[in-house]
Amino acid sequence: MPEPGISAADILVCRVCGALSRRPLSPDPHDHLYCQRCGGRIRIGRGNSIEVTWALLIAAAILYIPANLLPVMSVYMLGSGQPDTIISGAWHLVAAGQWPLALLIFVASIVVPLLKLLALIFLLLGMQHGSSRHPRERMRLYKMTEYIGRWSMVDVFVVAILIALVQFGNLARIEANTGTLCFASVVVLTMLAAHTLDEHLIWDTAYRQRRGRQKHG
């Protein structure tokens, strides 16, 4: 099609009165759009998805530091014991020869959240700069990110269950430390970020860029 006309992507539908409106070409994400006919609020995609995602991601990134530096769990056996961070816990497991378990913890608790953060940042940057390259691959990345993110909660659940189970007074006792809170926050925030990220935007920008090129061409 040499001269493409208007496409569905250019039309906004008012969810109140059903009126169709033309989509502004590059609206500021902060601006609120309203229907001309009924005055109802019109949202593009999931609202200002990029901004919210950024906010959540930044919060997650901040908390990722204490989550890894602070101890997550203290195991006291026979009166002795000490708080362990995620890394030191994994290291203890390695020292005890349980390296598959250590690898699992290392991957699930350190690598996965970090990769998730990086992936989301990568996707966001791509959206903001209107990158149109490999949208399909980026979409796959997004799907993976969203799917895998929940598994990081395993750690938090393990801690929660152990705290509830192992309370034998002086014999053995497990306590949660601040790190767990931070870690849980990181996981929850990245999950929320993955959720608020509007995957349409991957395609949106790709499409609009193509369309912009067509118009200028």
Partner 1 sequence: MADMETQQEQENTLAADELQDVVIRQHRRPSPVWLIPLAAALFGIWLLVQFWLTQGETITVPFPEAEGIQPGVTEVRYKAVSVGKVRKVTLDENLNPLVTLVLSKEISQSLDCSGQFWVVRPRVRGTEISGLGTLFSGTYIGMTPKQVSNNPAAETTSSLCYQVLEDPPRIKPARPGREYILETDSMGSLDVGSSIFYKQLEVGEVIDYRLVEDSGRIELTVFINEPFYRFINANTRFWNASGFDLRVDTTGAEFHMESLSTLIAGGIAFETPEDESSDRAISEDGTHFVLYRNYAGSRERHYANRLYYTLYFEGSLRGLAEHAPVEYQGIRVGQVEKVKLYYDQDSNDLRTPVLISIEPERFADDIDLERAPTLIREMVEKGLRAQLRSGSMLTDMLYVALIFDQDAEKGSITSGQFYDIFPVDNQPAENVAVAMSELSLELQETVQHVNRFLEQGKLDQTVGNVNRVLEETRSTMSKAGATLSDAQQLIRQLDEKTVPGLSSDISRVAERLDTQTLPMLTRDLNRVAERLDTQTLPQLSRNLNVLTERLDKQTLPMLTRDVSRVAERLDTQTLPQLSRNLNVLTERLDKETLPQLTDNMTRITGTVNNALQRTTTSAEKVTGAVGRISGDFAKTSEELNKTLVRLQNTMGHLDRLLARNSPTQYQLDQMMQEVTLMSRSLRTLAETLQKQPESVLRGKRDQ
Of the candidate residues 8, 26, 78, 169, the single one contacting partner 1 (CB under 8 A): 78
**What is the edge-to-edge ordering of all strands in the sheet holding 172-176?**
80-84, 73-77, 172-176
Strand pairing partners for 11?
22
Per-residue binder mask for partner 1 (CB under 8 A), 39-68, x = binder: x--x-----x--xx--xx-xxx-xx-xx--
- In the complex with partner 1, the residue whose CB is nearer, 135 or 207, is 207
- Most distant CA atoms of the chain, gap in Å: 79
Tell me how many residues contact partner 1 (CB under 8 A): 55
As measured in angstroms, the least distance from the Cβ of 182 to partner 1 is 8
> Residue 174 in contact with residue 163, Cβ under 8 Å?
yes
Q: Which of 79, 99, 128, 151 binds partner 1 (CB under 8 A)?
A: 79
Residue 75 within binding range of partner 1, rule CB under 8 A = yes
Among positions 175-204, residues that touch partner 1 (CB under 8 A) are: 178, 182, 185, 189
Pairing of strands 11-13, 20-22: antiparallel
Q: How far apart are CA 159 and CA 154, in angstroms?
A: 9
Report the SS3 class of residue 52.
helix
Please choose, out of 19-27, 103-111, 114-122, 126-134, the segment that lies near partner 1 by the rule CB under 8 A. 19-27
Tokens of 185: 């926050």
Compute CA 118 distance to the chain's CA centroid, rounded to the nearest angstrom: 9
163 contacts partner 1 (rule: CB under 8 A):
no
CA 112 to CA 33: how far, in whole Å?
37
The type of residue at 192 is: L
Between CA 157 and CA 163 the distance in angstroms is 10
> Containing H/E element for 127?
helix 112-128
Considering only 9, 15, 25, 27, the residue that binds partner 1 (CB under 8 A) is 27
Per CB under 8 A, which region of 79-87, 107-115, 129-137, 146-154 contacts partner 1? 79-87
Neighbours of 186 (CB within 10 A): 27
Q: Considering the rule CB under 8 A, would residue 157 count as an interface residue with partner 1?
A: no
Within residues 91-130, the interface with partner 1 by CB under 8 A covers 96, 98
Give contact residues for partner 1 (rule: CB under 8 A).
3, 5-6, 10-12, 19-24, 27-28, 30-37, 39, 42, 48, 51-52, 55-56, 58-60, 62-63, 65-66, 70, 75, 77-80, 82, 96, 98, 161-162, 165-166, 171-172, 178, 182, 185, 189
